[in-house]
Amino acid sequence: MKFLIPMMSLALGACALTPPPAAAPAAPPAWVAKLPGGGPPSADWWARFDDPLLAALITQADSTNPGLQQVLARIEQARALARQAGSAQLPQLSANAFAQRAKAAQPAGLPVQTLTSASLDAGWEIDLFGRVRQQANAAQARAEASVFDAQAARLSLAAEVAQNYLNLRACERLAQISRADADSTAQLAGFTQDKLRVGLESPANAALLQAASADAAGRHLAQQADCDLAVKGLVALTTLDEAALRAQLPDRRARLPETAGLAVAALPAESLARRPDLAAGRQQVIAAWAERGAAEAARYPQLQLSGSIGLSNLSLGGGSDEGRGWSFGPTLSLPLFDGGLRRAQADAAQARYDEALAALRSAVFQAVREVEEALVRLDAARQREGFAQTSAEGYRASFTATESRWRSGLASAAELEDARRLSLAAQAGLVGVQRDRLAAWIALFKATGGDWTKT
């Protein structure tokens, strides 16, 4: 009988401490979408863009963004909880002392009594079935998950800053186009008014070009407002003073970053392992598995060793009495009947593990999807850019020719307005395609985990 508890401890403890089964589906053996050809990508991703301000803004956001600071604070919280859970595996020792003076009101004449006491109390749970150890393992896994969560937050923040900066530069380019269009249309409308006064233009055509001029001016104002909003978005992400940020923007105004030399010749499927969100998910699965084992172990006996050494002294009427004592022994707790409480707690822990495992599987499939989608968008944008360039040049030449014919009286104002709108749409389309190509690079950087191991 005396060997029963140690044998149970080894058997059930080993069961509780077994590692979790396979946590997630394997990465695909190859990507379905086409890879952009060229040399290998750089670890320092943002340095491959020819815009030092972009890298500076990302660095600034990484050091001062309040949302990221909140995530970093959660790391310290999780680490403290891990230390708290780990301390339960060690013996606990506490010292207690008190002193008390008392005098009874009745009967009269009783002397004042003074009682002092000091003791050392120790306790240690013998972790028979791994409950305490599993709780410590779970807390440690969650602390490690919080580190990966912070790395994922840094990665997302960097991508968000890059995307906002990209949108700002594209917006500035569109504002330049709309400004030039508004100026050109205003000149044409003024010229039409001059022709109308001398009877060389109809009122209908003059009204059409006046309306076109007003429309172009309104479009430019709306575009400029979008650019101002983009600046304010960068201010919120980087916490920079808006005036200081605006002072840095003019050097590369309306110029989209270029990805000189940025290409991917090979993208191993194992690159998903670099994603910090998936690493965090794996740690959450490990933590849930450990908590499941702790809940299961709580259904079995718990053994506590406790001891105490104490000194006391009682002073009464000029005399005193001193006492010393000690105690030591085990306490065995046997859960006999709890109305199914512990069983329910174990079932709930198992369900939480199943939930964490399913969440990780879902995250892996989503990660694969994000990589595939980024590759598709990148390939499509690269192919579309040439067509968009040809389209913009062709419509611009058509508008120039139509304007020349209109000035000579060989084209109507309606033809001129149609040519202007087509040219404007083609130029905006080219900017949009260029932005899409760069956005696809940013999405691919984020989808493959970036260089998060340095954060």
Cα–Cα nearest to 439, from 394, 382, 396: 382
Site of tokens 């270029």:
258
pLDDT in tens, 190-205: 888 887 888 777 888 8
Mind giving me the DSSP string for 109-141? TPPPEEEEEEEEEEEEEE-TTSHHHHHHHHHHH
The model's pLDDT over 405-442, given as tens digits with 9 standing for 90+, comes to 988 888 888 888 889 889 999 999 999 999 999 999 89
At 39, is the pLDDT very low, low, confident or very high (cuts 50, 70, 90)?
very low
Specify the pLDDT at position 9. 37
Question: Which structure tokens are listed for 252?
Answer: 């590369």
Averaged confidence pLDDT in the chain: 84
User: Nearest to residue 146, comparing CAs of 71, 93, 80?
Assistant: 71
Residue 265: what pLDDT? Answer: 52
- The confidence band for 19, taking pLDDT boundaries of 50, 70 and 90, is low
Q: If pLDDT is split at 50, 70 and 90, which confidence band does 144 have?
A: very high
CB-CB neighbours of 244 under 10 Å? 10
pTM (2 d.p.): 0.80
Q: Is 51 helix (H, G, I), strand (E, B) or coil?
A: coil
Domains of the chain: 15-87+129-299+358-454 (1.20.1600.10)
Judging by beta carbons within 10 Å of its beta carbon (0-12, 13-18, 19+), is residue 392 exposed, middle or buried? buried
